[in-house]
Amino acid sequence: MFPGNRRQQEDEYEEEEYGDNPQEDYEEVEGDENIIVHQERGLPDNEDFEYSNLQGKKRALFVGINYVGMDGQLSGCINDVNNMNNFIQENFDFEEILMLTEESDDPDLIPTKANIERAFEWLVEDPQPNDSLFFHYSGHGTRVEDDTGDEEDGFDEAICPLDYEENGVIIDDDIHRILVKPLPAGCRLTALFDSCHSGSVMDLPYLYTTKGMIQSNNPVHGIYNAVNNVKKAILKGDHQKAMVRLEAITSRLKQAALSDKWKSELSSQADVVMFSGCKDKQTSADTSEDTDESEYNFQNTGALSWAFITVLSEEPQLSYSELLQKIHKLLQTKYEQKPQLSSSHPMDMGYTFAI
């Protein structure tokens, strides 16, 4: 498919318009007091985690779903995982590989919800310090209403197995519980989600901007701004807008209550890093790219998978910050989606990317 086709299932909600978005585009308000940032090497003093030296076992899982014959059929997802598998094996010497696609002849390797969850368990079985685990998902993503009250925006992010219409999606709470919680200190998991609404699909608490800084909203300042906006709307006689602004205050209050709890519960001593194709409220493109100058076939591809392989093929010795910046720069020439990097702990974005 061509640019503009999206890896997105029909959402099960109607997104509310809050006026001043409580989760503003941090890349455009960097100087605002609403954003508290830490420079990429300015890590907190209480580092309660361990980096992996990557010398343990190397295990990788790939899940690619084109949903052939279904509504919302995609073109590039199986090709994505084939390309990524080749790239990973050629450059990083992974020993154990498992791939799930609907083209498999093995019923256990069809990407149903049950099979994907079993594959998750295989990936993190007997995890040890200094292991390096890798997960790549290419397929549909969606958002569903949060029924546990742990999401600041009221929605869980999710991935869509092949049988999602019958058996449901896999939400971020379950992805975190199965893939992150079992990992010990010093065990690395690197994940790529090339899907819509994937910004926080692993529920990792530390989100980085493309400039290598931790994004952290200051809810108190946001509430102050929202109250002022309510006053302005009332003075102008725009009561409808005033009600919208009041919704923003409600969102900010919820954010303030959840923020510390969320980080304390979802932080991990393990070494988990996720690249995602877009923000939670964005979509990711199922597209086509020129393959004339590449050893990989990008005729049908996901935008993130293409950008990740292309950037690292050209410059393999990049820092995490440089890698995220270059992926973003490559994508923004054609696509609106903004790639995200999040982690289970505050990380030094100046470290060289390795898996």
- The catalytic residue positions are 140, 196
Residue with tokens 């996901």: 302
Residue 105 CA from chain centroid, whole number: 30
Tokens 């978005």 -> residue = 21
Q: Give phi and psi for 116, each to the nearest 5.
A: -65, -45
Residue 103, CA distances (Å) to 1, 79, 165, 205 in order: 19, 11, 19, 35
How far is residue 319's CA from residue 257's CA, in Å, rounded to a whole number? 34
Q: What does DSSP say about strands 58-64 and 96-101: parallel, antiparallel, or unpaired?
A: parallel
Q: Which amino acid is at 280?
A: D
Query: CB within 8 A of 301, min separation 6: which ones?
Result: 76, 79, 80, 83, 286, 287, 288, 289
| 103 SS3 class | coil
Cα separation, 144 vs 173, in Å, equals: 12
Contact 339, 202 (CB under 8 A): no
